[in-house]
């Protein structure tokens, strides 16, 4: 099976790396095309486009200016070790050994507004560009138009390479909209993580993001090869709810969320 995750807004380029192994992104030329557009924008433009603060806009304008089509250990680090949000806290890739990193490299792809699709060990230069950003480009009005079917084709290639039978969608709705499920060569399963609150089960964003990373870590720790085994996921009190689930949406629920 193949998993997909969203990237994180927060980045970590300071913590010592646990491996020197790396690969290169498949869509460097496409990323360079987007960077060329972003380099024409002022900090005020970026702040307005991305709805971010002026200091954060200035930081990212500097990142775009420094971005290079040449990736090396001096200007980039492995994607799974660079992203630093809630999902990646749950995954905790910095604690993985080389064999576990091999599993991630085979079974995980990270969707990205700038890079399209990243393998975990692909080198990545720092950036901010969310998939939902309405950045006009030669291919259309936004990044969904820019990436077109490229993301789907890349996922199909990964599925074929490792003889995958299913795609497990652990990405957010914003990012999975870049995928065309009808053109995937395998069915899609989307795990949903819910908390009991005020008399009903609800998705709480922070907890759901953490749980996505925890499920990916569960697959790594147990070297899972088949999606059915994911139903045994029970980290942090979650349990698979068969009655509330369907073939496409698997619900994991807990009552002790805080």
Share of the chain above pLDDT 90, in %: 97
- Is the CA virtual torsion 217, 223, 226, 231 positive or negative? negative
Radius of gyration of the chain (CA): 18
Residue 244 burial (10 A CB sphere; 0-12, 13-18, 19+): middle
Instruction: Please write the tens of the pLDDT for every residue from 156-182.
Output: 999 999 888 999 999 999 999 999 999
Q: How far apart are CA 5 and CA 109, in angstroms?
A: 7
Q: What is the mean pLDDT of residues 63-79?
A: 96
Q: Encoding tokens for residue 104?
A: 């991630």
Contact, 257 vs 204, CB < 8 A?
A: yes
Q: pLDDT per residue over 17-40, tens digit each?
A: 999 999 999 999 999 999 999 999
Structure tokens at 127: 């950036």
Interval 104-144: pLDDT, tens:
999 999 999 999 999 999 999 999 999 999 999 999 999 99
Phi, psi of 65 (to 5 degrees): -65, -35
Residues 177-236: tens digit of each pLDDT = 999 999 999 999 999 999 999 899 999 999 999 999 999 999 999 999 999 999 999 999
CA torsion sign, 148 to 149 to 152 to 157? Answer: negative
Q: Above 90 in pLDDT, residue 256?
A: no
Instruction: Using alpha carbons, select from 220, 184, 182, 206 the residue that is nearest to residue 91.
Output: 220
Q: Where are the domains of the chain?
A: 2-254
Residue 257 scores a pLDDT above 60: no
Percent with pLDDT over 70 in the chain:
99
Residues in the chain: 258
Q: Coil, strand, or helix at residue 4?
A: strand
CA atoms within 13 A on the CB side of 150: 21
How much is the pLDDT for 258? 45
> What local confidence, expressed as pLDDT, does residue 67 receive?
98
Contact in structure between 134 and 49 (CB atoms under 8 Å)? yes
Token pair in block for residue 170: 């652990």
């Amino acid at each position: 099976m193949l998993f997909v995750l969203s990237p994180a807004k927060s980045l970590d380029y300071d913590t010592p790396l646990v491996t020197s192994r790396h690969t290169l992104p498949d869509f460097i030329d496409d990323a360079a095309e987007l960077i060329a557009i972003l380099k024409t924008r002022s900090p005020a433009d970026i702040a307005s486009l991305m709805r971010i603060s002026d200091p954060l806009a200035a930081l990212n304008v500097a990142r775009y200016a420094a971005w290079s089509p040449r990736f090396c250990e001096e200007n980039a680090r492995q994607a799974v070790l660079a992203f630093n949000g809630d999902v990646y806290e749950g995954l905790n890739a910095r604690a993985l050994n080389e064999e576990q990193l091999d599993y991630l490299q085979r079974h995980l792809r990270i969707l990205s507004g700038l890079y399209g699709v990243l393998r975990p060990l692909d080198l990545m230069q720092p950036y901010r560009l969310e998939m939902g950003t309405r950045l006009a480009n030669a291919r259309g009005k936004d990044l969904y138009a820019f990436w077109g079917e490229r993301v789907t084709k890349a996922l199909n290639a990964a599925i074929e390479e490792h003889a995958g039978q299913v795609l497990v969608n652990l990405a957010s709705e914003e990012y999975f909209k870049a995928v065309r499920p009808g053109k995937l060569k395998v069915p899609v399963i989307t795990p949903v993580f819910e908390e009991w609150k005020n008399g009903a089960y609800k998705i709480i964003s922070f907890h759901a993001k953490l749980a996505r990373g925890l499920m990916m870590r569960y697959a790594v720790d147990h070297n899972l090869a088949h999606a059915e085994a994911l139903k045994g996921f029970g980290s942090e009190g979650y349990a698979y709810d068969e009655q509330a689930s369907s073939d496409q949406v698997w619900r994991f629920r807990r009552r002790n969320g805080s």
